[in-house]
């Protein structure tokens, strides 16, 4: 697919273009409004493809739970293996800017199958929870109170660390908007034991000194918007003596891990990043 089309869609999904402006520009690149309309099913997420791990997988225990946070209880999706260790390393899975949707629930199940107590908070809970319509979810994300959202994530670290099935060590992995939240959480929670950010926006240099957790940062080679901040972030991490590693996936687009999006999913990059992520989390949370 023409990279200009993918870049336009990225700008739309991150609030830089209205739907009307996006469709108008897409029609110009595609050649007509009809061609633009035909491209939409390829560009948008298809959640029918979400269940790499079925939501009734007999190996798993899946629960809808809530945890206490400063602004009130936050809902979430807790998954673990039925068999195995009594206590497990724990991982918070932080969703994209579409909320806790079927894809992120599936990613959480995958994390559980790799042996973690996996928990995906619905950070749209203060606004009523994640809606089925992803455009509505994206609009709601923009209305969240940033301070409250971060406080809710810090509370999630405490909740998971004290859970009876947790070994007390908590990591976080986040995607897109959630990747940026991993960077924020690493600076806000000294209890976080590891952070993995997939194509997430970086935090200001003056926040870096507070980071305690080792970080793994995955970036897509074609993601100019997010990649613009890598140099400054690395410089700040180095200056503060932080432990981190950066992996760049050349030729991959932003959201390359999202297998529900045909246009941007890159299986080779996603598989390699996942292996690195699981190895990193096992190393730092066991």
Higher pLDDT, 33 or 257: 257
pLDDT of residue 214: 98
Name the band, by pLDDT with cuts 50, 70 and 90, for residue 49. Answer: low
**Helices within 94-223 (DSSP H only):** 102-113, 134-141, 146-161, 177-188
Phi, psi of 48 (to 5 degrees): -65, -20
pLDDT tens digits for range 169-208? 999 999 999 999 999 999 999 999 999 999 999 999 999 9
DSSP-derived secondary structure for 62-123: EEEEEE--TTS-EEEEEEEESSS-SSEEEEEEE--TT-S-HHHHHHHHHHHHTT-EEEEE-T
Name the band, by pLDDT with cuts 50, 70 and 90, for residue 129. Answer: very high
> What are the residue ranges of CATH 3.40.50.1820 in the chain?
49-285
CATH number for the domain formed by residue range(s) 49-285: 3.40.50.1820
pLDDT tens digits for range 85-113? 889 999 999 999 999 999 999 999 999 99
Residues contacting residue 195 through CB under 8 Å, at least 6 positions apart? 171, 172, 173, 182, 183, 185, 186, 213, 214, 215, 216
Q: Using alpha carbons only, what angle is made at residue 10 by residues 4 and 11, rounded to the nearest 5 degrees?
A: 90
Q: For the ranges 12-16, 76-80, 179-183, 229-233, which has the lowest average pLDDT?
A: 12-16
């Amino acid at each position: 697919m023409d990279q200009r089309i993918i870049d336009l869609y990225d700008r739309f999904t991150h609030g830089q273009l209205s739907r009307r402006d996006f469709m108008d520009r897409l029609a110009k690149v595609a050649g007509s409004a009809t061609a633009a309309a035909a491209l939409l099913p390829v560009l948008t997420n298809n959640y029918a493809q979400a269940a790499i791990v079925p939501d009734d997988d007999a190996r798993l225990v899946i629960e809808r739970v809530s945890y206490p946070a400063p602004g009130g209880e936050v809902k979430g999706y807790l998954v673990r293996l039925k068999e195995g260790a009594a206590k497990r390393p724990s991982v918070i899975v932080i969703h994209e800017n579409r909320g806790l949707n079927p894809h992120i629930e599936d990613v959480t199940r995958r994390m559980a199958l790799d042996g973690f107590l996996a928990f995906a908070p619905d950070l749209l809970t203060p606004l009523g929870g994640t809606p089925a319509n992803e455009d509505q979810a994206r609009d709601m994300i923009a209305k969240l109170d940033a301070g409250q959202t971060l406080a809710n994530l810090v509370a999630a670290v405490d909740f998971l660390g004290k859970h009876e099935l947790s070994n007390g060590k908590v990591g976080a992995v986040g995607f897109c908007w959630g990747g940026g939240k991993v960077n924020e959480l690493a600076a806000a929670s000294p209890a976080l034991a590891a952070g993995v950010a997939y194509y997430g926006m970086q935090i200001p240099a003056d926040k870096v000194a507070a980071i305690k957790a080792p970080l793994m940062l995955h970036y897509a080679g074609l993601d100019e918007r997010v990649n613009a901040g890598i140099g400054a972030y690395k410089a700040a991490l180095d200056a503060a003596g932080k432990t981190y590693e950066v992996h760049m996936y050349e030729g991959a687009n932003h959201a390359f891990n999202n297998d529900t999006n045909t246009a941007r999913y890159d299986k080779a990059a996603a598989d390699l990043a996942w292996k690195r992520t699981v190895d990193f989390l096992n190393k730092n949370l066991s």
